[in-house]
Amino acid sequence: MMSGQRRLSPAVLACALGLVAGLFCQASALQTEDAIEPIGPGVVNWTTRMVTATGVGAPPVNAANSAQARAMAERAATVVAQRNLLEVVQGVRVDAATLVENHLVQNDVVRTRVMGIIKNVRPIRMQHLPDGSVEVTVGLPLSGELADALLPKEFGRRPAAGGAPSAAKPPPPPQVTPPPTAAPESPRPPETPPAPPKEPLPGVAAKPSEPKLSASPAPPTAPSSGAYTGLIVDARGLGLKPALVPRLFDEQGQEIYVGGVLSRDQAVQNGVAGYSKDLVAASRQPRVTDNPLIVKGVKAAGTKGTDVVLSPEGAQKIKQTESQSQYLRQARVVLVYD
Q: Are strands 36-39 and 307-310 parallel, antiparallel or unpaired?
A: unpaired
pLDDT (tens digit, 0 to 9) for every residue of the chain, 338 residues total? 444 444 544 443 443 344 334 333 333 433 557 999 999 999 999 999 999 999 999 999 888 899 999 999 999 999 999 999 999 999 999 999 999 999 999 999 999 999 999 999 999 999 999 999 999 999 999 999 999 999 999 999 876 544 443 333 333 433 434 444 444 444 444 444 444 444 444 444 444 444 343 333 333 333 344 599 999 999 999 999 999 999 999 999 999 999 999 999 999 999 999 999 999 999 999 999 899 999 999 999 999 999 999 999 999 999 999 999 999 999 999 999 99
CB 283 within 8 A of CB 274: no
Closest by CA to 275, choosing from 31, 19, 16, 34, is 34
- How much of the chain is in helix, strand and coil states, percent to nearest 5? 40, 20, 40
Q: Where are the beta strands (DSSP E) in 130-254?
A: 134-141, 230-234, 248-249
pTM here is 0.72
The CA distance from 109 to 52, in Å, is 24
Closest by CA to 311, choosing from 250, 253, 247, 257, is 250
Terminal CA-to-CA distance of the chain, rounded, Å? 56
Domain boundaries, the chain: 31-150, 228-336
CA distances from 57 to 39, 52, 69 (A): 21, 17, 10
Characterize 93-103 residue by residue with b for buried, 16 or more Cβ atoms within 10 angstroms of its Cβ, and e for exposed.
bbbbebbbbeb
Residue type, position 248, single letter: L
The CA distance from 55 to 83, in Å, is 8
CB 87 within 8 A of CB 43: no
Give the other-Cβ count within 10 Å of 326's Cβ: 13
